[in-house]
C-alpha cells in the first residue's frame, strides 16, 4: 500500500474513499485542493514578504557596519551595482562621513569554492587596505572550509588579511607563492576566499573614480 | 485507542529514525549540530501535525485514485508555509537549514503517516499521532546532533565543552553521521530487548 514499509497495527476504521473515483470527481477534488492551497500560500507570502525583506536588509546592514569604519550616510541607498571582469555581480556600498569617502563595503563572490559559490562582504579603505570582512554565504565543508569566517581575521602566523592591501601584498596562499597561510586541510576554500577578495578589490579599484565622484554630489 | 499509547509510540516503539529508519536524508544531512537537529525536527513536527489534521478532515471527500497527489499537495503547502515563516522570523536557522526544508515534502514519514494513519483515523487521533511521531523524530535528530556536535567540535548547543582542536572532525562530516547513527541504533535495540 505504501512504499514506506509502515506496519499499520493501528486500528482502522476504514472509511476511505466514500466518493467514487470518476474522472469528474478526481478533477474536481484536485482542482479544489490546489486552489485552496494556492490561496493560502498567497496569503502567507503576503504576510511574510515584509519580514523577509527586513531580515535580509538587517543582515546586509549588519555586515556593512562590521566591515567599514564609521559612516554617516546610508550605504544601502548609495549602492553601486557592477559586474566584475569574471562576470560576477558585485555590489559596492560606499561609506561616507561628512561627504568624504571613508571606505567601501564590497559584496563580492567567486564560484571557485569547494562547494560552489562563496559570497563575502569585504571592507576596504579608499586606498584598498582591507578593514574587515564577513562571510555571507558558502557551502564549504563543515569544520574545514567553514573556518574561513574567523581564520583570515585571526592574528596568528600569516593567517590574517586585515590591514593588508591586495595592491601591495600578494594575497594568495603560501602554496601558490603568496603571503597568506591557508586554512589547514582546506586549501581550495582558502583559494576561493582570497579569489573573492581579489575580485572585490579589482572591481572597486577599476570603478574608484565613479564611486568617489558620487561623494562630491 | 488509548491516546497516550498513540502519542508515545513515536518516541520509542515506532520511532521514525531509530526503529523504522525513515527520513534518513534530513537525519544524516542536518544533524551536524544539536540546534540544527532540533530545528529540523520541530519544522517536521509542524508539517506532520498540520498535514495529519487536514488530511483526516478531508479524507472522506477524496476519491481513492487521486489520494496520493491530494496528500502531497497538502503536505507541500504546509512545507512552503514553514519555509516562508522561518525565513521571515528565524533567518539564522533558515540559513543553516535552508536547503533541507523543501525536502520535508518528500520525507517518507510525513506521507507515510498521512497514508497509514490520518486517512483512516479521526481528527483527534491524527493530531496526537502527528505530534507523537514528529516529536519523536525531533528527539532523535536532537540526540544525534548532540552526539555529533560533542564528538566532532567539542560543543553542545554551541556551548564549548572542550577545546575544538581535540574534536574528531569525522563526526561533523557525513561518514560520522552514519557511524554515530549506527551505534545509537545498536544501543537502543539492546535497550529494547533488555
Q: Is B87 on the interface with A (CB under 8 A)?
A: yes
Tell me the average pLDDT across A37-57: 91
> Which residue is associated with the grid cell 513515536?
B10
Number of domains within chain B? 1
The set of residues, in sequence order, having a beta carbon less than 8 Å from that of A17 and lying 6+ positions away, is B62, B63, B64, B67
Q: pLDDT by residue (tens digit) across A65-105?
A: 888 877 878 877 778 888 888 888 888 888 888 878 888 88
Taking only Cα atoms into account, the Rg of chain A, rounded to an integer number of angstroms, comes to 25
Give the C-alpha separation, A58 to A64, whole Å.
Answer: 10
For A38, which residue in chain B has the nearest alpha carbon? Answer: B77
Which residues in chain A touch residue B34, judged by CB atoms under 8 angstroms apart? none
Domain carrying residue B69: 2-193
pLDDT, residue A34, reads 92
Q: Is B1 on the interface with A (CB under 8 A)?
A: yes
Give the C-alpha separation, B185 to B18, whole Å.
Answer: 5
Give the C-alpha separation, A144 to B76, whole Å.
Answer: 34
Question: Which of A102, A115, A101 has its CA nearest to residue A193?
Answer: A115
Quick check: A11 pLDDT over 50? no
Quick check: B48 pLDDT over 50? yes
pLDDT, residue B160, reads 76
Q: Kindly determine whether residue B66 and residue A22, on different chains, have CB atoms separated by under 8 Å.
A: no
Hey, which residues 44-83 in chain B have their CB within 8 Å of chain A? 58-67, 69-70, 73-74, 76-77, 80-81
The ipTM assigned to this model is 0.72
Hey, which residues 152-181 in chain B have their CB within 8 Å of chain A? 152-153, 167, 169, 172-173
Tell me the average pLDDT across A160-179: 84
Give the C-alpha separation, A96 to A99, whole Å.
Answer: 6
pLDDT, residue A35, reads 94
Quick check: A41 pLDDT over 90? yes
Q: Which helix (H) or strand (E) holds A158?
A: none
Q: Which residue did the predictor score with more confidence, A142 or B184? A: B184
Q: pLDDT by residue (tens digit) across B68-123?
A: 889 999 999 999 999 899 888 888 888 777 777 888 888 888 888 888 888 888 88
A122 contacts A133 by C-beta, under 8 angstroms: yes
- Give one word for B44, left, alpha or beta, with left for phi > 0 and alpha for psi -120 to 50: alpha
pLDDT band at residue A42 under the 50/70/90 scheme: very high
Q: Kindly determine whether residue A143 and residue B91, on different chains, have CB atoms separated by under 8 Å.
A: no
pLDDT, residue A82, reads 85
Amino acid at each position: 500500500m505504501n512504499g514506506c514499509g509502515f506496519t499499520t497495527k493501528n486500528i482502522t476504521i476504514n472509511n476511505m474513499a466514500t466518493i467514487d473515483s470518476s474522472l469528474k470527481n478526481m478533477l474536481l477534488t484536485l482542482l479544489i485542493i490546489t486552489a485552496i492551497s494556492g490561496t493560502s500560500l498567497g496569503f502567507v507570502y503576503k504576510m511574510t514578504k515584509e519580514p523577509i525583506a527586513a531580515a535580509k536588509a538587517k543582515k546586509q546592514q549588519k555586515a556593512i557596519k562590521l566591515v567599514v569604519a564609521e559612516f554617516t550616510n546610508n550605504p544601502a541607498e548609495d549602492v553601486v551595482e557592477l559586474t566584475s571582469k569574471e562576470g560576477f555581480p558585485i555590489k559596492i556600498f560606499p561609506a561616507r562621513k561628512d561627504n568624504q569617502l571613508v571606505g567601501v563595503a564590497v559584496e563580492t563572490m567567486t564560484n571557485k569554492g569547494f562547494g560552489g559559490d562563496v559570497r563575502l562582504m569585504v571592507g576596504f579603505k579608499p586606498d584598498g587596505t582591507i578593514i574587515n570582512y564577513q562571510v555571507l554565504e558558502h557551502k564549504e565543508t563543515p569544520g574545514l572550509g567553514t573556518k574561513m569566517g574567523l581564520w583570515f581575521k585571526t592574528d596568528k602566523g600569516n593567517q590574517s588579511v586585515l590591514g593588508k592591501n591586495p595592491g601591495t601584498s600578494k594575497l594568495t596562499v603560501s602554496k601558490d607563492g603568496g603571503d597568506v597561510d591557508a586554512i589547514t586541510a582546506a586549501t581550495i576554500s582558502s583559494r576561493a576566499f582570497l579569489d573573492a577578495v581579489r575580485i572585490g578589490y579589482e572591481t572597486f579599484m577599476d570603478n574608484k573614480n565613479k564611486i568617489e565622484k558620487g561623494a562630491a554630489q | 485507542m488509548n491516546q497516550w499509547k498513540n502519542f508515545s509510540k513515536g518516541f520509542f516503539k515506532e520511532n521514525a529514525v531509530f526503529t523504522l529508519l525513515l527520513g534518513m536524508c534530513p537525519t544524516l544531512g542536518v544533524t551536524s549540530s544539536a540546534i540544527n537537529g532540533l530545528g529540523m525536527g520541530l519544522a517536521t513536527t509542524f508539517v506532520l501535525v498540520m498535514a495529519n489534521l487536514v488530511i483526516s478532515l478531508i479524507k472522506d471527500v477524496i476519491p481513492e485514485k487521486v489520494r496520493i497527489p491530494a496528500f502531497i499537495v497538502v503536505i507541500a503547502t504546509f512545507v512552503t508555509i514553514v519555509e516562508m515563516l522561518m525565513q521571515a522570523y528565524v533567518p539564522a536557522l533558515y540559513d543553516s537549514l535552508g536547503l533541507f526544508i523543501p525536502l520535508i515534502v518528500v520525507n517518507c514519514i510525513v506521507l507515510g503517516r498521512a497514508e497509514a494513519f490520518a486517512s483512516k483515523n479521526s481528527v483527534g487521533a491524527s493530531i496526537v499521532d502527528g505530534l507523537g511521531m514528529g516529536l519523536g523524530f525531533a528527539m532523535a535528530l536532537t540526540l544525534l546532533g548532540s552526539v555529533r556536535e560533542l564528538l566532532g567540535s567539542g560543543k553542545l548547543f554551541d556551548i564549548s565543552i572542550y577545546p575544538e582542536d581535540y574534536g574528531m572532525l569525522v563526526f561533523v562530516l557525513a561518514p560520522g553521521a552514519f557511524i554515530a547513527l549506527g551505534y545509537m541504533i545498536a544501543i537502543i535495540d539492546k535497550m529494547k530487548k533488555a
